[in-house]
Amino acid sequence: MATIATALVCPQGHGPQSPGTRFCTFCGVQLVAAMPPVQPLAAAAAKLLAPVIAHPIQGKPVCKVCGGNGDLLGSADIVCTGCAWLRPLVPGYTLDRSAFLWAQDGQAMNRLQQISALNSVVHSASDKVGRPWIESTFNGIRMGPRQLPDVWKQAVLAARILGLPSMPDVYVAGDQLWNTYTFGTDNSAFIVLGSAILNNFTGDEMLFVLAREMGHCRAGHALWKTITRFLNGDSSQHSGLLSNGLLNAIHPMKLLEGAVEMPLMAWSRQSEITADRAGLLAVDDEALARRVLLAWSIKSARLLKQVNIEEWMKQEEESDDKMTRFSEMATSSSMYTTRRLRLLSGAAREPELMRHSQTVRSILKELAPPPKPKPAAPVAAPADSIRVVCDKCQAPMRIPFAVLRGKPSLNVRCPKCHNVMTLRPKSASPPPPVTARNQAI
């Protein structure tokens, strides 16, 4: 059987070598086998994953709790406990993802989907392997009506605003702090919130955070975020082609890795803009959204109150040059704060996005329970007695007006110390305020 000769290359990237040479003629380092191009590498990954991917289920049984479309639920039930079916915000309410989808996000996703060998296994790998593996790595508490109910209610509201057909699982993880994640598939997503998020944001600020993650779900990001983490690990930190230095970046292995990693990072940056737009649609408050993003950037809502925002933004604007953009492209899976805020301001002035946002706010206003009327001031009952305090032992007692009426004076004995007091009215008209004079027994 004939053998196929494997080309050898210098690991330091020193050009072509002479046939039959085992060591680099430039630096003397032993040559290594050349790596295959990106497309065969993706095909190899697909082949590796194939044995652990189960065949898809041909049919999904109808939920016995809600009937699959909520028909069996009570009018007050929002989320089905059986299949996580989610009641629309109002009957007939829908929200197409194009209402908040960032155009460059869609373009980046299309480029990812063109990696055919990888795309062919994405759906099955995410549902059968990726989600179970990733979900088990988070030591989190799953929220629900009886577990952190206040945050859970806001998560449900955010999901209904973004038009999700089913409710994603939502976890809080103490070891994640300021991180948030959305993983799973288009039909089965879950969200992880770091505990610092819950400690620093409340009210509409928390709604903005949750709506961002629901926006990831609605835009179809959960699928690709799962595959990215499953294949490349955690991409939430600054990591990329230049994360370990320039010399490491020119290594052939790093260049090959970057050929796959760079498109994923480029899409990840654009996907965060889509999420910001989804959060803005939910709260209709640019100032609030900016405040949350800034606090998220410095990881402290309390510290943000002490920061001069104008000076910070001026600093960021001065550093926004070509090198900063290259640094973002090569090292970060999230767009830098200044650019995100600039794009957020632009989104807040898009008529179509704001029209959807105002529609949502008007619906929420109609759904809000009417304010509780202020309780009426209690009407004082007509006085039928006076309160008297014993001058000797300070014990209180009440004397009916009926006993005093028509009498110029009345002797009263203290039930505690048996001191006798003489009560005399100040005027003849009832009810008479009285004065007391001690009279020893």
The region that residue 251 occupies, defined by phi over 0 for left and psi between -120 and 50 for alpha, beta otherwise, is beta
Q: Look at 27 and 220; give whichever has higher pLDDT.
A: 220
On whether residue 379 sits in a domain, the answer given is no
User: pLDDT at position 40, please?
Assistant: 43
Cβ-contact 398, 387 below 8 angstroms: yes
Sheet containing 140-142, strands listed edge to edge, beginning at the edge strand earlier in sequence: 140-142, 169-173, 189-194, 180-184
On whether residue 412 sits in a domain, the answer given is yes
Neighbours of 422 (CB within 10 A): 14
CA distance 242 to 250: 9
CA distance 183 to 190: 6
**Same-domain status, 188 and 271:** yes
Render pLDDT for 131-153 as a digit per residue (tens, 0 to 9): 666 667 777 889 999 999 999 99
Taking residues 381-396, report their average pLDDT: 79
Average pLDDT, the chain: 76
User: pLDDT at position 435, please?
Assistant: 47
pLDDT at 270 > cutoff 50:
yes
**Same-domain status, 193 and 330:** yes
Taking residues 403-427, report their average pLDDT: 81
Q: Which of 183-197, 254-268, 318-332, 371-385 has the highest mean pLDDT?
A: 183-197
Q: Look at 366 and 134; give whichever has higher pLDDT.
A: 366
Q: Look at 100 and 418; give whichever has higher pLDDT.
A: 100
User: pLDDT at position 407, please?
Assistant: 81
User: pLDDT at position 252, please?
Assistant: 39
CA distance 155 to 30: 57
Render pLDDT for 20-50 as a digit per residue (tens, 0 to 9): 777 776 666 667 776 444 344 344 444 444 4
pLDDT at 223 > cutoff 90:
no
The domain tally of the chain equals 3
On whether residue 72 sits in a domain, the answer given is no
**Same-domain status, 139 and 198:** yes
User: Torsions phi, psi of 435, nearest 5?
Assistant: -120, 155
On whether residue 403 sits in a domain, the answer given is yes
Token pair listed for 188: 């089965």
pLDDT at 242 > cutoff 70:
no
**Same-domain status, 347 and 431:** no
**Same-domain status, 287 and 416:** no
Token pair listed for 59: 């049919």
**Same-domain status, 105 and 22:** no
**Same-domain status, 324 and 406:** no
Residue 54's pLDDT band (boundaries 50, 70, 90)? very low
On whether residue 54 sits in a domain, the answer given is no
User: pLDDT at position 26, please?
Assistant: 60
pLDDT at 420 > cutoff 60:
yes
**Same-domain status, 152 and 19:** no
CA distance 256 to 241: 10
Q: Name 122's bridge partners.
A: none
**Lowest mean pLDDT segment, chosen from 22-36, 109-123, 189-203:** 22-36
Helix, strand, coil tally for the chain in percent (to 5): 45, 15, 40
**Same-domain status, 206 and 174:** yes
CA distance 350 to 370: 32
Residue 14 sits in which domain range?
8-37
**Same-domain status, 340 and 298:** yes
Helices (H), 70-148: 103-113, 116-125, 131-137
On whether residue 67 sits in a domain, the answer given is no
pLDDT at 401 > cutoff 50:
yes
pLDDT at 118 > cutoff 70:
no
Render pLDDT for 271-330 as a digit per residue (tens, 0 to 9): 999 999 999 999 999 999 999 999 988 888 888 888 887 787 777 666 556 555 555 555
Q: Look at 392 and 433; give whichever has higher pLDDT.
A: 392
Taking residues 423-427, report their average pLDDT: 71
CA distance 363 to 359: 6
% of the chain surpassing 70 pLDDT: 66
User: pLDDT at position 330, please?
Assistant: 52
**Same-domain status, 125 and 199:** yes
Residue 81's pLDDT band (boundaries 50, 70, 90)? very high
**Lowest mean pLDDT segment, chosen from 184-188, 291-295, 352-356:** 184-188
On whether residue 44 sits in a domain, the answer given is no
Three-state secondary-structure class, residue 406: coil
**Same-domain status, 148 and 15:** no
On whether residue 247 sits in a domain, the answer given is yes
Q: Name 170's bridge partners.
A: 191
β pairing state of 189-194 and 169-173:
parallel
